[in-house]
Amino acid sequence: MVSDGSILIVDDDAVSRHVLSETLNDAGLDCVAVDSGTAAIESFDNATPSVVLLDLVMPDPDGYAVLKHIRSTPELAEVPVVVLTALDADEEIQKVFSCGADDYVHKPFRPAELIARIRGQMRVRDYVERLSRRERGAQMVLELTQALASSLDIRDILFTVVRRVAKVALVDRCSIVLVGDSEDVGFVVATSDDEQLRDLPIDLQKYPEIRQVLSTGRTLVIRDASSHPLLEAVHQNAPTIDFVSVALVPIVHEHRPMGVIFLRSRTQVAFASHEMALVHTVANATAIALRNARILQSLRDETRQSTYARVEAERRVQLFQRYADFFESAADGMTVIDKAGRIIFANPRAREILGYGETELIGLEFATLLVPSARDRAGRLQRGFGDGIYPQGVDIDVASKDSGDITLSVNFSSVLHEDEAVLFTFRDVTIERRTAVELKQTKEFLEHVIDSSVDAIVSADMHGQVVLFNRAAARIFGYDPADIIGKISVERLYPDGVARQVMRKIRSDEYGGKGRLEDFRVDMLEATGEVLQVKLSAALIMENGRPLGSVGVFTDIREKLRMEARLSKAQEELRSREKQAALAELAGTAAHELNQPLTSIIGYAELLRRTIDVTSPAGNAASVIIREAERMAEIVRKIGKITKYETKGYVGEAKILDLDKASDPNQEDRR
């Protein structure tokens, strides 16, 4: 079956068929639509479409059955199939490709994407068909060289040549005509439709087309023999000519035509350039075979290598054809390098990132893309490829042609093991890496600030697990951060039940209900189990209105409390001393005030004793008065030494306590 160039739409939904047909027609693509899998399978008997646009979900036979029929039919096996599906699960996509689909378009589809994918498949098929034609030609050359290697009969070889050329060129007859000693006589040494015809002499005067080719040494193609002027004389001598189209290719050796390969067809034939080039190759091979078997052997080896290269090229195309559209539309850059490190493929995104044109990248060495300081790394990577090491997520600095030095995140993988070809996909992560460096610097700065804080800073997730424990916390609580972070709950730092009370207070309306708690006095526990008095400021860590954790700043107030206690004690002692001083001064003032009366008493008692008999009762009484008054005076003198209250002039330079000021109730306020 020959492709009719149209696209076959298979969809049971009338609206979908109409939309697809309109989309393809608007894009200038011929299409035929059928409404069932049965109709699709029947249509393959009449023509082979260039592409099948296949809906999966249909009544039996569904899309999978149609796809299976296409892939199991040799004449249809190479027809590209683009699947339409509304399913997006990975398993479904995997099933689609495993059943033989070449591509898929998700419903609802975008017209531009659909057309692009269809055209891509058409390009791939056209390329494969061209390779197939070349393969058939190369196969023919291979068969010819094999015949030359296996047979000593040159006639058998020539018959093989004409038969194969006729088959490949799709003509009714192919003949080899050699020139005899006389330029007017030629010999038909082999013809494709008669194996027994050999060495048939012909008059070259009746074949002006052969004479022209022999004289010019150039190929002659006549698509319509009935109207070509060169054959006008032939028409006069033979009014009916069996052949409509003819082509003649010279057999040349050492710049001298020695005959022609004569192609004739009863229907009009275009004689494609590829086919004519192939006949040229056969003609040259035939010339060499006729003159030198040794050279022919060399030609056979070269042809075999050429055929192998063509087969390999086709095999690679077939390997990649199902993924060609994916490579072309991928958001990541994709590049393939061979075992020598040269680039043999680059998708559009790779060219865009690296700043190269469509053909500029092909053939470049991978190492030349890297910045000079990183080129040694390319060699290490390639040696690793040879050992089967394909790094993933590697950052490489390259020199973009447009943007200067950029950073790429690259994944390497093997795509053709026997050829040691390596695929690497990459993304431009220059901005991300710069941002990451800045974030790292900011993070390190914040960590330094947190770690340098004199207050303990502890953070926990919503499960209470400690995630941050700075140096001040380690000093205050007595824990090693390595033994705390990610290993214990923050509740361990509190007495039983206190951690939950604190969290309730953070959330409660009593403290604003804003997820914060400030300057809250709470007891905590050191690593030794001793009670630790701290002042706590805590808050919830929120993201998009959802709490992710909590953070607390703990100020050790033990020293402050000790200072306050010492201050309170000092103040109490001061007040006690002031009271004692007041009493002492009051006693001193009293002593001061009693000093003169005691002096008078002693004086008058002395006068009295002098006037009376000291042995009389009155004398004894006077002595007692004097003795007791002197004792009292001594006490008064001792008390007077510790007085501190404000004094006033008394006698001469003597000072006594100012009782008026001492008894003033506002005196304390004025001090």
Please say if the pLDDT value at position 669 is more than 80.
no
pLDDT tops 80 at residue 643: no
What mean pLDDT is predicted for residues 523-529? 89
Domain CATH for 230: 3.30.450.40
Query: Is the model's pLDDT at 377 over the cut of 60?
Result: yes
In angstroms, the first-to-last Cα distance of the chain is: 124
Measured distance CA(426)–CA(388) in Å, rounded: 19
pLDDT digits (tens, 9 = 90+) for 187-225: 888 899 888 887 788 888 888 888 899 888 899 999 888
CA distance 203 to 125: 47
Q: Using the predicted structure, report yes or no on whether residue 584 has a pLDDT greater than 50.
A: yes
Amino acid at 632: M
247 vs 626 pLDDT, higher one: 247
**Does pLDDT of 118 surpass 80?**
yes
pLDDT at 419: 58
My answer on whether 594 and 634 are in the same domain is yes
Q: Is the pLDDT at 308 greater than 70, yes or no? A: no
pLDDT surpassing 80 at residue 9: yes
**Residue 556 pLDDT:** 87
Strands 245-253 and 220-222: what pairing?
antiparallel
Please report the pLDDT score of residue 661 as a whole number: 54
Output the six-digit token pair for 58.
Answer: 């249909």
The string of pLDDT tens digits covering residues 58-78 is 888 888 898 888 888 888 888
pLDDT of residue 646 exceeding 60, the answer is no
In a domain, 81, yes or no: yes
Strand 51-55, strand 81-85: pairing: parallel
Same domain for 268 and 160? yes
Instruction: Quote the pLDDT of residue 356.
Output: 86
Identify whether 141 is part of a domain. Answer: no
Q: Looking at residues 634-641, what average pLDDT do you find? A: 71
What pLDDT is stored for residue 248 in this prediction?
A: 92
d(CA 302, CA 54): 44
Domain count, the chain: 5
Residue 567 vs residue 605, higher pLDDT: 567
Q: Tell me, what's the pLDDT at 465?
A: 92
pLDDT of residue 247: 92
Nearest 5°: phi and psi at 230? -65, -30
**Would 508 be classed as within a structural domain?**
yes
Would you state the pLDDT for residue 641?
64
Could you give the CA distance from residue 429 to residue 438 in angstroms, rounded to a whole number? 14
Same domain assignment for residues 42 and 13: yes
135 class by beta-carbon count within 10 Å (0-12 exposed, 13-18 middle, 19+ buried)? middle
Domain for residue 510, yes or no? Answer: yes
The answer, yes or no, to whether residue 314 has pLDDT greater than 80, is: no
Domain of residue 49, CATH code: 3.40.50.2300
Do 515 and 591 lie in one domain? The reply is no
Would residue 441 count as lying in a domain?
Answer: no
Q: Which residue has the tokens 């390639």?
A: 382
Residues comprising the chain, all counted: 671
- pLDDT tens digit sequence for 247-285: 999 988 777 888 999 999 988 887 877 778 888 888 877
| The predicted structure's pLDDT at residue 439 | 87
The pTM for the full model equals 0.34
Structure tokens at 610: 């002098």
Q: Please give the pLDDT value at position 262.
A: 92
Same domain, 183 and 277: yes
Structure confidence at residue 664 (pLDDT): 54
Residues 472 and 544 placed together within one structural domain of the fold: yes
What is the rounded average pLDDT for all residues in the chain? Answer: 80
Q: What is the pLDDT of residue 4?
A: 54
- Tell me the C-alpha distance between 530 and 512, whole Å: 32
Closest CA to 257 of 310, 225, 203, 216: 216
With a cut of 80, say whether residue 517 has pLDDT above it: yes
CA angle, 398 then 402 then 405, to 5°: 30
Residues 574 and 552 in one domain: no
Higher pLDDT, 670 or 231: 231
Residue whose C-alpha is closest to residue 657's, from 590, 581, 597 = 590
Instruction: Report the C-alpha gap between 582 and 602 in whole angstroms.
Output: 29
| 63 shares a domain with 21 | yes
Question: Which tokens is 514 given?
Answer: 């804003």
Q: Are residues 162 and 271 in the same domain?
A: yes
Residue 650 has pLDDT above 70, yes or no: no
Domain assignment present for residue 58? The answer is yes
Contact present, 55 and 15 (Cβ < 8 Å): no
Residue ending a domain, among 234, 265, 291, is: 291
Say whether both 163 and 279 belong to one domain.
yes
The reported pLDDT for the residue numbered 140 is 66
Specify whether 37 is located in the same domain as 100: yes
DSSP 238: -
Q: What is the pLDDT of residues 475-508, one digit of tens each?
A: 889 999 988 998 888 888 999 888 888 888 888 7
Helix (H) or strand (E) holding 601: helix 558-611
What is d(CA 655, CA 647) in angstroms, rounded to the nearest whole number? 5
What is the band of 298 on the pLDDT scale with cuts at 50, 70, 90? very low
Q: Which of 426, 443, 473 is the last residue before a domain boundary?
A: 426
Name the burial class of residue 374, with classes exposed (0-12), middle (13-18) and buried (19+) by CB atoms within 10 angstroms of its CB: middle
Give mean pLDDT, residues 456-463: 90
What percent of the chain clears pLDDT 70, i.e. is strictly above it?
Answer: 82
What's the rounded mean pLDDT across residues 322-342? 76
Query: Which of 556, 587, 610 is the endpoint of a domain?
Result: 556
Percent of the chain with pLDDT over 90: 6
Q: What is the pLDDT confidence band of residue 599, given thresholds at 50, 70 and 90?
A: confident
CB contact at 8 A, 474 and 485: no
Q: Which two tokens stand for residue 134?
A: 């070349």
Answer yes or no: are the C-beta atoms of 211 and 224 closer than 8 Å.
no
Longest dimension (CA), the chain: 208
Which is more confident, 604 or 147? 604
Q: Is the dihedral of CA 269, 275, 277, 283 positive or negative?
A: negative
pLDDT in tens, 142-184: 666 666 445 556 777 788 888 888 888 888 999 999 886 667 8
* pLDDT of 651 strictly over 50: no
Mean pLDDT to the nearest integer, 455-459: 90
In angstroms, the CA 169 to CA 99 distance is: 35
- CATH code (residue 526): 3.30.450.20
Host domain of residue 408: 331-426
pLDDT of residue 299 exceeding 50 = no
Q: Flag whether 317 is in a domain.
A: no
Are 532 and 581 in a shared domain?
Answer: no
Does a structural domain hold residue 418? yes
